[in-house]
């Protein structure tokens, strides 16, 4: 079983982004099963208008149909890092991660919980994700041949309580699709990812956008991290993909030898709540 993170430089044109993604998906290794993660905003990355034009109701529309088709044709588990989905009765959208199995079936979704409303010392300076998006409310852990998948998106990474909750729900692999800024990525991306892997004893599969998109500068550095915190693969720059195997026996051994989930004295598990 192999984990794959794809890294692209996405823009505001879905057709151009689709062409990039199709080319990279053709470079996947031949072995199966594969769990393939795309970055956040790999569908569209640009103005509020471009995002609204690409938005679809959950489970409907030609963009989501394309991802379903790719998953089925390639025989892969495909996780769309995020795509804009409509909220009935609201002008704001959800940033939604979609999980397709090898039959092309949508087996789970996650609406981004934490919205990136911050000021950063870069070319753009001010980010207000809540201008276009509404936060989700629910955690998502999905059964798969690779283990249980815990879903998150980008800014979620700064909230360790989310990942602790995913671990409590049985997550084995933490998925982190992202469009981290260059400034924050250089400072915090890898340390945060390694911390989430170590403290939860999970694999971390993280796929990032890379490059410049207007005033936006994204960090890339897609990475696969072991449950011991080791960086197994990393793609610092450019478009491409990284691949690493998942070792379920080692995962189980790490948890057995150091059972931190059972030792946590503030957890609901310890308190039998």
Q: Which residues are catalytic?
A: 40, 112, 154
For the four alpha carbons of 4, 6, 7 and 12, in that order, the dihedral sign comes to negative
In 3D, which of 96, 91, 105 has the Cα closest to residue 143?
105
SS3 258: coil
Among left, alpha and beta (phi > 0; psi -120 to 50; other), residue 250 is alpha
Identify the CA nearest to 132 among candidates 254, 251, 46. 46
Phi and psi at 269, nearest 5°, equal -60, -50
Nearest in space to 1 (alpha carbons), one of 175, 208, 178, 243: 243
131 φ, ψ (degrees, to nearest 5): -65, -30
Angle at CA 220, nearest 5°, toward 218 and 222? Answer: 150
CA 96 and chain centroid, separation: 10
Closest CA to 82 of 98, 66, 62: 98
List C-alpha distances in Å: 12 to 4, 51, 119, 216. Answer: 24, 8, 22, 12
Whether the CB-CB separation of 173 and 150 falls below 8 Å is answered with yes
């Amino acid at each position: 079983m192999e984990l794959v993170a794809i890294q692209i430089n996405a823009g505001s044109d879905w057709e151009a982004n689709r062409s990039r993604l199709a080319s990279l998906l053709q470079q996947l290794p031949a072995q199966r099963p594969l769990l393939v993660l795309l970055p956040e905003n790999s569908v569209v990355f640009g103005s509020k208008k471009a995002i609204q034009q690409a938005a679809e109701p959950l489970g409907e529309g030609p963009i989501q149909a394309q991802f379903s088709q790719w998953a089925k044709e390639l025989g892969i588990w495909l996780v769309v890092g995020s795509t804009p989905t409509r909220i009935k009765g609201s002008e704001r959208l959800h940033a939604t991660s979609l999980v397709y199995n090898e039959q092309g079936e949508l087996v789970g979704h996650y609406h981004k919980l934490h919205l990136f409303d911050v000021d950063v010392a870069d070319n753009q300076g001010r980010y207000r994700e809540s201008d276009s998006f509404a936060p989700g409310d629910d955690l998502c852990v999905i059964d798969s041949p690779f283990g249980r998948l815990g879903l998150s998106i980008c800014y979620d990474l700064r909230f360790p309580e989310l990942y602790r909750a995913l671990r409590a729900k049985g997550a084995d692999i933490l998925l982190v699709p992202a469009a981290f800024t260059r400034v924050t990525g250089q400072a915090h991306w890898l340390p945060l990812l390694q911390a989430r892997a170590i403290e939860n004893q999970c694999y971390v599969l993280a796929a990032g956008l890379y490059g410049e998109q207007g005033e936006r500068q994204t960090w890339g550095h897609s990475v696969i991290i072991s449950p011991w915190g080791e960086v197994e693969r990393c793609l610092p720059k450019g478009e491409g993909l990284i691949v690493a195997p998942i070792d379920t026996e080692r995962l189980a051994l790490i948890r057995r030898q150091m059972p931190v989930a059972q030792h946590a004295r503030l957890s609901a598990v310890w308190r039998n709540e």
